[in-house]
Amino acid sequence: MKNLVYIVTLLFIHSLVSAQTAPPTSSIRGSVWEEKGTPNNTKENGEPALNGILVELRDPDSFELISSTITDASGNFVLPSYPGNYVISYVYPTQGYTDSIDASQTVTVPANGSVSVPGIGLKPVINTLTYCTGKPTTVTSWSETFQLPKYNASLGKLNTVYMYAMESAYHANINIENTGSADNYKLSVGGSILMDLPAVVGDIELLTSVKFSGSLANFDGKVDYAGPSGVSYYYKFASTTSEKRYTSTAQKNIFTGSGNLAIPTTVESSTTISGAGNLETVVSTEVGAGVCVTYEYIPTSLPVSLVAFTVKAEGSQAARLQWSTSAERNNAFFEVQHSTNGKTFESVNSVIGKGTTQVRQEYVFTHENLNPQLLHYYRLKQVDQDGSFTYSPIRSLQLADYKGISLQVASNPVVDGNVKVLIDYSDENLKKSTSVQLYSLQGTVIASQQLELVNGHNEVHLPVHGVAPGLYLVSLKNDSLGSAKTFKVMIQR
The confidence score (pLDDT) of residue 103 equals 58
* Rounded distance between C-alpha atoms, residue 433 and residue 81, angstroms: 73
Same domain for 122 and 88, yes or no, is yes
- pLDDT tens by residue, 53-96: 999 999 999 999 999 999 999 999 999 998 999 999 999 999 99
Same domain for 42 and 56, yes or no, is yes
- pLDDT tens by residue, 282-326: 999 999 999 999 999 988 766 788 999 999 999 889 999 999 998
Residue 278, pLDDT > 50, answer yes
Same domain for 204 and 331, yes or no, is no
Domain boundary pick from 346, 368, 397? 397
Q: Which residue has the higher pLDDT, 348 or 478?
A: 348
Average pLDDT over residues 97-109: 77
How many structural domains does the chain have?
A: 3
Q: Give the pLDDT band of residue 6 (cuts 50, 70, 90).
A: very low
Other beta carbons within 10 angstroms of residue 141's beta carbon come to: 13
Average pLDDT over residues 356-381: 90
The confidence score (pLDDT) of residue 9 equals 29
The confidence score (pLDDT) of residue 277 equals 66
- Taking alpha carbons only, the member of 69, 126, 74 closest to residue 97 is 126
Same domain for 42 and 96, yes or no, is yes
* Rounded distance between C-alpha atoms, residue 23 and residue 28, angstroms: 15
Same domain for 359 and 212, yes or no, is no
The confidence score (pLDDT) of residue 367 equals 96
Strands 346-357 and 319-339: antiparallel
Same domain for 250 and 334, yes or no, is no
The confidence score (pLDDT) of residue 18 equals 42
The confidence score (pLDDT) of residue 466 equals 86
Same domain for 160 and 11, yes or no, is yes
Looking at every residue in the chain, the average pLDDT score rounds to 87
Q: Give the pLDDT band of residue 22 (cuts 50, 70, 90).
A: low
Strands 260-274 and 183-195: antiparallel
Q: Give the pLDDT band of residue 484 (cuts 50, 70, 90).
A: confident
Q: Give the pLDDT band of residue 405 (cuts 50, 70, 90).
A: confident
Q: Which residue has the higher pLDDT, 36 or 280?
A: 280
The confidence score (pLDDT) of residue 164 equals 97
The confidence score (pLDDT) of residue 15 equals 32
Share of the chain above pLDDT 90, in %: 53
Same domain for 281 and 331, yes or no, is no
Q: Give the pLDDT band of residue 401 (cuts 50, 70, 90).
A: confident
The confidence score (pLDDT) of residue 275 equals 76
Average pLDDT over residues 160-177: 94
Residue 11, pLDDT > 50, answer no
Average pLDDT over residues 38-61: 88
The confidence score (pLDDT) of residue 325 equals 94
The confidence score (pLDDT) of residue 326 equals 87
Average pLDDT over residues 426-448: 87
- What is the pTM for the complete model shown? 0.65
Please check whether residue 136 is in contact with residue 78, taking contact to mean a CB–CB distance below 8 angstroms: no
Same domain for 179 and 82, yes or no, is yes
Average pLDDT over residues 240-267: 96
Residue 347's domain is classified under what CATH number?
A: 2.60.40.10
Same domain for 32 and 84, yes or no, is yes
Residue 5, pLDDT > 70, answer no
Domain boundary pick from 299, 330, 360? 299
Share of the chain above pLDDT 70, in %: 93
Q: Which domain holds residue 19?
A: 2-299
The confidence score (pLDDT) of residue 2 equals 32
Residue 14, pLDDT > 80, answer no
Residue 420's domain is classified under what CATH number?
A: 2.60.40.1930
Residue 10, pLDDT > 70, answer no
The confidence score (pLDDT) of residue 205 equals 96
- pLDDT tens by residue, 319-336: 999 999 988 888 989 999
Other beta carbons within 10 angstroms of residue 404's beta carbon come to: 18
Query: How many residues does this entry show for the chain?
Result: 493
Question: Which residues, other chains included, contact 216 with Cβ-Cβ below 8 Å and sequence gap of 6+?
Answer: 176, 177, 178, 182, 183, 184, 185, 228, 229, 230, 231, 279
Please check whether residue 50 is in contact with residue 34, taking contact to mean a CB–CB distance below 8 angstroms: yes
Q: Which residue has the higher pLDDT, 149 or 493?
A: 149
Same domain for 292 and 207, yes or no, is yes
Domain boundary pick from 344, 369, 397? 397
Same domain for 94 and 220, yes or no, is yes
Measured CA distances, 380 to 211, 369, 484 (Å): 59, 19, 23
Q: What are phi and psi of 388, to 5 degrees?
A: -70, 155
